[in-house]
Each structure stands twice: as C-alpha cells, then as structure tokens.
Amino acid sequence: MSFEGTFTALVSPFRTDGALDLDALARLVEWQIECGIDGLVPTGSTGESATLTPAEHVEVIRRVVDVAEGRVPVIAGTGSNSTQEAVDFTLEARAAGADAALLISPYYNRPTQEGVVAHYRTVASETGLPIFVYNIPGRTASRIEPETLAELAETPGIVGLKEAGGDLVKAAHTIALAPEDFVVLSGDDALTLPLLAIGGRGVITTTGNVAPREVAEITRAAAAGDWARARAAHYRLLPLMQALFLESNPIPVKAALAILGRIPEPTLRLPLTEISKPNRDRLEAALAGFPRA
C-alpha cells in the first residue's frame, strides 16, 4: 500500500448541539475521494481529537473506513502523551480497519529523545499497525531531532513521518539519514513544495479539506518532475493556505467548509470558538473562485 501523495487531515463535523455529524463526515469523505485524493487522515488535530471522547474517536475512524471502502488508505490519528493510551487508541484504530496510524509526539510531559524513541517503538511493537511519527514542536513544545527520527526509521513498523517542524534544514537532515523507504510527508501546507524538492513524498494537508484537487496537483506535478506546474499550483493556493491558519486550526477550515456548503455548520467544541469577523472576511476573499457544493 502506498503512503505517498496528498492525504487530507479531515475535520470532524459537529451539529449545532455539539454532537458528531457522521452523515456530513461521510459526504465529505465521498467528495474527497471523487476529487482524487490519495488518502484520508481522521482524528488528528484538524479533526479535534483533543475533544473527542474515546467512543467518538472510534466512531469517526470507523465511518471514514466504511465510506472509503478500501479506495484510498486511511491513516488514523491515535496519538497521546500517555504511551499506554496511544497503544489503546492504535489498537482500536486497527480493529476499526485503519491502514496506518499517525501519532503526535508526546506533548506537555516533554520526554527526552530517548523517551520519544521508547514511546514510538512500544506502540509499533504492541499494535502491529504501520506507524507515522508526527513532529510538530509548535503544539508539543519539543522537537524530534533528525538523528532520533533516523533511529525510529530503522524500527520495524515505523514507516514514515509527518514533518511540521518548520525547519527545512532539519527536514533535509532527516531525509538524508533515513532509509530510502521511509516516507516523509509535509505537515505544513505552505512548506509542501520545498519539502517535496528535498525528497518529501507528499503532504498531510488541512487545505485539502477545501481544495483536494488543487493540493493533489502540487504533489502529482512534483512526482512527475514538472516543477513549473507544481510551482504554479502552489502559488494559486498560497493565499488560501495562509487564510486557513489565520486562527488556530481547525477554526478557519471549518468556517471555509461551511461557506462552501461542504458541511452544514462550522461548529467547534470549546475551548475553540468561532472565527472572528475580520478573519472570516479575509477567508471569504481567499475562497473566491473555489466551487460551492
């Protein structure tokens, strides 16, 4: 199974009463696949995993797997700052039919690099599901260093990395040190093109919720060696990429999906709140020209 290309980090739609809207999620998944997306990533930070109950977490993964019906791979977000909880979430994702799991580096307790290695190796060995490491120091307050990632890349069952460290030099060192079959995916939409240029294999994208065809155009053009086409696609999307991060993810992307008619409501769970009026105006301007449902 290929884990290269464009993978959308799906939102978790909620009704106005705050309950999961699994029907809206199913419609979003179907549209993503129709648009030619390469894979789907439910229950990550874009999917508000921090405020899903354990039962909801499994519900979302199962619905995405059921709707996808094997047409594209599903990488389920199963991270936690508790190693045992991460193991439990990953086993649940495996039982629900996920093809792989994406685990954020442990946050708040800030383990040493040795602890990070032990965390991921434990999850990989106890679950048997292909594992993607997720490096995002802006959310975890700690960075996974290239040497640590290279060590993890040699671990059976650890197949790739979502790189959102914002440092292309460190990303380049990681790619240089890791085995050829270790898949590095961008975790920062605006840095996808340069990451592809230094050896990245794709992206796990927030922008893909809104513009799946357009994001996939970047990765496919780059894979074909057509860098002029990849650059053109990147610059067409750059204003939208920036607008979708005017406030904490997924506040803007849920607003964008509601504006485009892809989900009924932009409902969020506290402590996230509705997008501000000035930023909504900027977002609407960036959405000009994108098709409505």
Q: Which residues are catalytic?
A: 134, 162
Question: Is-contact 56 25, C-beta < 8 A?
Answer: no
d(CA 205, CA 215): 8
What's the burial of 139, exposed, middle or buried (CB within 10 Å: 0-12/13-18/19+)?
middle
What's the burial of 2, exposed, middle or buried (CB within 10 Å: 0-12/13-18/19+)?
exposed
The tokens describing 56, both together, are 């909801």
Question: Is-contact 279 252, C-beta < 8 A?
Answer: yes
Each as own residue / partner, the long-range contacts of residues 248-251 (CB below 8 Å, 24 or more positions apart, any chain) are: 248/272, 249/45, 249/46, 249/206, 250/11, 250/45, 250/46, 250/47, 250/48, 250/206, 251/275
The tokens describing 108, both together, are 């708040």
